[in-house]
Chain A
Amino acid sequence: MKIINNTALATALTTSILFADSLPSGVPASVMKLDVAKVCNPKTQSLKSIIALAEKYNPVAIKLGVEFKRLGIANSIYVKETKKAIKSGYKVTILHYKKKGKAKTKKMDTSKAAWRACTFAIRSLQQKEEAGKTYRMAIPGDGFKY
C-alpha cells in the first residue's frame, strides 16, 4: 500500500513539475527536444531508461487527452506491464487488458514493448504540439487550398 502511495505521489510530482515547464498547449517543453529514434532505441539505450521516459511523459498525455491506444491496448498498459517485466528481468512482457469487457492477454518481446511505450508517450505529446500549428492547413476556406 505504501509502495503504491509513494509511486502515485512520485507520478503526481513529476507530472506537476512537467506542467510547470509546459508550452501553451500543455505539452512539456522538454519533450519537444527528444528524438524517439534515439531515446527509445533498445539497441543503444537501457530498457530502464526507456521505460522511465514513458513513465514520465505518458501521464501528461493522459491529462491532455492524447494517449495512444493500439488494438485495444492503451499506452498506460504498455508502460505498467513493461515496467513490471523489466523489474523482474523477463524477456517477454505479458500485456493484460480488456477489450469489449473481456479480459485478454498479449505477449510481446520486452524490448519491443518498452520501445512502443516510450515512442507512444513522447510522440503523442509532440504530435499535439505539432497539430496546434498545422490544423488550419486542413480547413477549407482557411489554410486548405484546392
Chain B
Amino acid sequence: MIKKFISLIAAVSLSTLLLNAGDYNKQAEKDRVALKEYFAKKFANPLKNRGEYFPYATDKELKEGILPVKNSEDFRLGTYAFNKIGKEQYEELNEMAPYLDDIDEGEELYNGSSAIKKCFPNPAIAGEYPMFKDGKVITLTAAINQCLKKAGKKSWGWKKGKIAKLEAYFANKTKEAGKKVNIKINSQKAMEAYERGKKEYYSQRGYLKLSCANCHVQGSGQRVRKEYLHTLYGATTHFPVYRLKWQGLGTLERRIEGCEKDEGENPHKPSSPWVAEMIYFMAYMSNGLPVDGPDLRK
C-alpha cells in the first residue's frame, strides 16, 4: 500500500515537473505563432492588403514588385521571399556565390583545430544556437570563442574573419543535413532571458526613436530607398551572411550592431548579454524554419 502510494506521488511529481518544463516556452511559442500568422496574412495578397499594410506603395509596386508569399518557409529568404526584382538579382549573384571560398576556409579551420573539433564533434549545430547554458545565453559565436579560450588559445573576435568563416561551415553543414532552427527555452531563467530580448526588440531606441520591430515587423515590405525591409520571421536562419555592403562575411552580432547604429544608438558590445538575449529572442521566432546559411544579402 505504502509502495503504491510512493509510486503515485513520484508519478505525479514527475508529470508536474515535465509539464512545467514544457511550460517555459509557452509564451514564446504563442509569440512565434502570432508572428508567423501576421506575416502570412500581410503577404498573402499585398495588393488586396494595401489599406492595412502597404498604404504608401504604388499600384505598380504591389502588382510587380512585391510578390505574394504562399509558403511561410519562404520567409527564411528574408526580403527575397517577396521582393521580385531583388530576388532575381539574388539568384543571379548566387550562381557564383561569393561565400563559397569562406565555407572552404571554415572547413579548413575546423579540420585544423583539434580543440574546435573536440568542442563541436558534429558541425551541423547552427540551428541549436543560441542556447541557454550555465545561467546565460550562449550564441554560436560565444561558444566558439569560449572553446578557443578553454583550449588556451586567443579568441577570434565577434564580427568577421575566422569566426564568420567557421560559422559559415557550420551553417552549411546544418543546411546539408536538412536541419531546422531548434531553439529551446527550458528553464525559468531562459524564459526571463527570452522576455528581455523580446522587450528590447520591440522597444523604441536611439535618437530616431525606432525599434527593431518598426522596420522588421510593422515595417517589413516597406521600401527604404530601393530596398525592401525583411521580416523578423526567418531573420536569423541564413547567418552568417555575405553582405555586398561589407564586401565580406559577417556574423549576426555584426548585423545587430549595424541596426543599433541605424536607430541612432551607441551599439552594445557584440559580446554583451544584451546582444545574446536579443539573438535568443530573434532565433526563437524562426523556430521550425530550415537553416539556410550562409547566404547573400545586399
Contacts and interface: CB of A to CB of B under 8 A. Distances in A.
Interface stretch (A10-18, A65-73, A81-89): A65-73
B199 A141 contact: no
Given A68-B207, A127-B204, A139 B198 contact: yes
Given A68-B264, A127-B209, A139-B31, A132 B199 contact: yes
Most buried by B among A138, A140, A141: A140
Interface in B172-214: 198-199, 202-207, 209, 211, 213-214
A129 B273 CA distance: 20
Contacts of B35: 140-141
B30 A141 contact: yes
B21 interface: no
Given A132-B203, A134-B204, A140-B217, A146 B265 contact: no
Nearest to A120: B207
A74 B41 CA distance: 40
A130 B205 CA distance: 10
Interface residues of A, number: 27
Given A74-B266, A140-B37, A135 B30 contact: no
B47 to A, nearest CB: 17
Contact of B202 (A75, A123, A135): A135
Interface string A117-146: 000100110011011101110111110101
B120 interface: no
B218 interface: yes
Contacts of A66: 205, 265
A106 B229 CA distance: 32
B268 interface: yes
B199 A138 contact: no
A80 to B, nearest CB: 14
A142 B199 contact: no
Given A69-B264, A131-B204, A146-B38, A141 B52 contact: no
Interface residues of B, number: 33
Contacts of A127: 204-205, 209
Nearest to B30: A141
B34 interface: yes
Given A127-B209, A132-B199, A135-B211, A141 B266 contact: no
B8 interface: no
B274 A136 contact: no
B261 interface: yes
A68 B268 CA distance: 11
B192 to A, nearest CB: 15
Nearest to A135: B202
A120 B199 CA distance: 22
B168 to A, nearest CB: 24
A135 B214 CA distance: 11
Given A138-B218, A139-B31, A141-B31, A69 B266 contact: yes
B38 A65 contact: no
B268 A65 contact: yes
B33 interface: yes
Nearest to A69: B266
Contacts of A124: 207
Contacts of B199: 132, 135
Nearest to B33: A141
A132 B261 CA distance: 21
Interface of A: 62, 65-70, 74-75, 120, 123-124, 127-128, 130-132, 134-136, 138-142, 144, 146
Given A68-B207, A131-B203, A146-B42, 18 more contacts: A65-B268, A66-B205, A68-B206, A69-B207, A69-B266, A69-B267, A123-B207, A127-B204, A127-B205, A135-B199, A138-B211, A138-B214, A139-B31, A139-B202, A141-B30, A141-B35, A141-B38, A142-B34
25 contacts: A65-B268, A67-B265, A67-B266, A68-B206, A68-B264, A70-B207, A70-B264, A123-B207, A124-B207, A131-B203, A131-B211, A134-B204, A135-B204, A138-B202, A138-B218, A139-B198, A139-B213, A140-B31, A140-B38, A140-B217, A141-B31, A141-B34, A146-B38, A146-B41, A146-B52
